[in-house]
Amino acid sequence: MANRAQLHAETRGVVGKKVRQLRKQGMLPATMYGHNIEPQTIQIRSYDMRDVLRQAGTTQLIDLTIDDQPPRPVLIRQTAIDARRNALIHVEFFQANLREKITTHVPLSFVGESPAVKEGGIELHVIDRIDIESLPQDVPESGIEVDVSKITEINGALHVSDLVAPRNVVILTDADEVVAKVNPPVSEEVVEEVLEESQELPGEIGGEETPAESVPEA
């Protein structure tokens, strides 16, 4: 499809620890697999992958071309991140069968304003993703919308059962799970009680040092 993100990859012969050299050259090692498909080791230009992630995120179909082969629809199944450098170091692609339903973890998009918050309540988002089942091309681009304006009272909540799934999408997450809620405001009296009950930290972990008793010289 013309509106899908396009990504080009090359067959990769370098494996194991030698892939470090690829990363230094601006290449990202990756793997592509799927049902009844022989797994392939591939490599992608790192900046191309960043562009695709900005365009398609991690839930949308991507047209992946390997060498001179025809494009194939794939989904990002897993990414590996170097936490110290906050850098992407490996990607796993899954070649999708457009006629078979898949299970996907999609984000929740919170919109609106709860009347209970206007009364001083505190809005909490309990979960930010849910599981759905759909055909690959029906995965909602922006996830599932949550309209918090439906929480009209303090101590009110929205559950998964309150969410409206797009057409051809089935929500798999437990219907009773709380998605968002509005708690009562915290009173000044409660804050004062917490402060009064808090214990001082020992000196060795940041609290004030207790003066040592004087010891007579020998």
Residue 138 has a pLDDT of 94
Q: Which residues have C-beta within 8 Å of that of residue 21, sequence separation ≥ 6?
A: 14
pTM recorded for the entire structure? 0.72
Work out the average pLDDT over 9-23. Answer: 88
Q: What is the mean pLDDT of the chain?
A: 86
Is it the case that residue 204 has pLDDT exceeding 60? no
Q: Using the 8-state DSSP alphabet, how is residue 98 labeled?
A: T
47 burial via Cβ count (<10 Å: 0-12, 13-18, 19+): exposed
% of the chain with per-residue pLDDT over 90? 68
Residue 168 has a pLDDT of 94
Mean pLDDT lowest for which of 78-92, 104-118, 126-140, 194-208? Answer: 194-208
Residue 141 has a pLDDT of 87
Residues 114-124 pLDDT 10s:
999 999 999 99
CA distances from 65 to 60, 62, 71, 74, 119 (A): 16, 10, 4, 10, 54
CA distances from 177 to 100, 150, 159, 210 (A): 27, 16, 6, 48
Residues 18-69 pLDDT 10s:
888 889 899 999 999 997 888 999 999 999 999 999 988 888 999 999 999 9
Which of the four pLDDT bands, split at 50, 70 and 90, describes residue 186? confident
d(CA 46, CA 32): 16
Residue 215 has a pLDDT of 39
Residues 146-177 pLDDT 10s:
999 999 999 999 999 999 999 999 999 999 99
Residue 205 has a pLDDT of 42
Q: Give per-residue burial for 185-212: e unless 16+ CB within 10 Å, then b.
A: eeeeeeeeeeeeeeeeeeeeeeeeeeee
